[in-house]
């Protein structure tokens, strides 16, 4: 059994009764011309573990905006990056907070092969007693041992 409905363009179309709830347009060009989309709508994705995104598949490429807390300290804008570390944007240069803290403590710039290890595993805990300088190979060995023991 067929039912007649009217498209927003003015055409009358006959469709099956079962499709009357779904089909409201006579063609795809008509659908794209007359569809009503809400304005100001965006999706917020709150992640407890922001490191769960695979490298190369950044979420906002797919139309999803991530929600991370943002704060200001003087001229520096602070935020949590997609890897879960506190960052600062100081005059356009991005810096990790835990590296800044260690550099102030040892009064020199860190070398490229030096890594800051969070002892308790919490990336947001940047207390000086929780941070330890390691070279890349010993840091990798430490995390491999932890992974094998668990």
29-71: pLDDT as tens digits: 888 887 776 555 555 555 555 555 444 444 444 443 444 455 5
Query: What are the tens digits of pLDDT across the range 55-112?
Result: 444 444 444 344 445 555 555 667 787 788 888 877 778 888 899 889 989 999 999 8
pTM of the model: 0.51
From the number of C-beta atoms within 10 Å of its C-beta (0-12, 13-18, 19+), residue 55 rates as exposed
Cα of first residue to Cα of last residue in the chain, in angstroms, is 64
Identify whether residues 7 and 65 lie together within a single domain: no
80 and 17 share one domain: no
pLDDT in tens, 9-29: 888 888 888 887 777 788 888
pLDDT above 90: residue 133: yes
Domain that holds residue 6: 2-34
Q: Is there a single domain that holds both residue 89 and residue 23?
A: no
Q: CA dihedral defined by 19, 7, 34, 39, rounded to 10 degrees? A: -60
Q: How many domains does the chain have?
A: 2
Residues present in the chain in total = 150
């Amino acid at each position: 059994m067929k039912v007649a409905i009217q498209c927003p363009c003015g055409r009358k179309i006959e469709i099956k009764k079962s499709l009357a709830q779904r089909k409201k347009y006579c063609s795809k060009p008509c659908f794209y011309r007359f569809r009503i989309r809400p304005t100001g709508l965006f999706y917020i994705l709150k992640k407890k573990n922001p490191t769960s995104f695979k490298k190369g598949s950044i979420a906002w490429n797919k139309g999803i905006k991530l929600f991370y807390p943002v704060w200001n300290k003087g001229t520096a804008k602070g935020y949590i990056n997609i890897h879960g570390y506190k960052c600062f944007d100081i005059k356009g240069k991005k810096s990790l907070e835990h590296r800044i803290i260690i550099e102030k403590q040892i009064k020199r710039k860190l070398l490229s092969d030096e890594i800051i290890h969070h002892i308790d595993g919490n990336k947001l805990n940047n207390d000086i007693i929780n941070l330890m300088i390691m070279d890349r190979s010993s840091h990798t060995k430490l995390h491999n041992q932890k992974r094998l023991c668990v």
